[in-house]
């Protein structure tokens, strides 16, 4: 059971009937349904809408303020590409044409934008 936790990221073609990554009745089933079963079907993800399934766990460190009712627990994640570019794309930005870093006055004036 719980083979869904075997990988952090799963990608499947979109199917409106596939809603429960660990199976619809996780605690009541003997067989493993969900992502492992869907991936074994070998469906193509080329030129179709896909679903990215991100599997993560939470470890809550308790504190006195959580008793008798835990007010909130925040969970988030970022999708940040690694190696998407071969260099920083901002290196191709054209240099500024202005010879000054502020609109008017010198760097000490109130309207200065030099930082």
Structure confidence by residue, pLDDT tens digits, 49-76: 999 999 888 888 888 988 888 888 888 8
Q: How confident is the model at residue 110 (pLDDT cuts 50, 70, 90)?
A: low
Most confident region among 47-51, 98-102, 107-111 by mean pLDDT: 47-51
16-20, 42-46, 89-93: which range is least confident on average?
89-93
* Residue 82 CA, distance from chain mean position: 13
Please tell me what DSSP assigns to residue 21.
Answer: T
Task: State pTM to two decimals.
Answer: 0.57
d(C-alpha 113, C-alpha 98), whole Å: 13
Query: How deeply is 55 buried, as exposed, middle or buried, from its count of CB atoms within 10 A (0-12, 13-18, 19+)?
Result: middle
| Whether 55 contacts 21, CB under 8 Å | yes
pLDDT of 31 above 80: no
Backbone angles phi, psi at 12, to 5 degrees: -130, 155
Mean pLDDT of the chain: 83
* E strands present in the chain: 9-13, 50-54
Please tell me what DSSP assigns to residue 93.
Answer: S
pLDDT of 30 above 80: no
Task: Residue 102: count other Cβ atoms within 10 Å of its Cβ.
Answer: 13
């Amino acid at each position: 059971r719980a083979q869904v936790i075997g990988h952090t990221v799963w990608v499947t073609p979109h199917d409106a009937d596939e809603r429960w990554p660990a199976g619809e009745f996780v605690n009541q089933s003997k067989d493993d349904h969900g992502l492992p079963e869907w991936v074994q079907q070998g469906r193509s993800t080329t030129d179709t809408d896909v679903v990215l399934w991100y599997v993560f766990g939470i470890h809550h460190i308790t504190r006195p303020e959580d008793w008798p009712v835990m007010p909130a627990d925040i969970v988030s994640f970022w999708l940040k590409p690694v190696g998407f570019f071969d260099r920083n794309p901002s290196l191709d930005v054209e240099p500024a044409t202005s010879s000054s870093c502020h609109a008017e006055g010198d760097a000490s004036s109130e309207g200065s934008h030099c930082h």
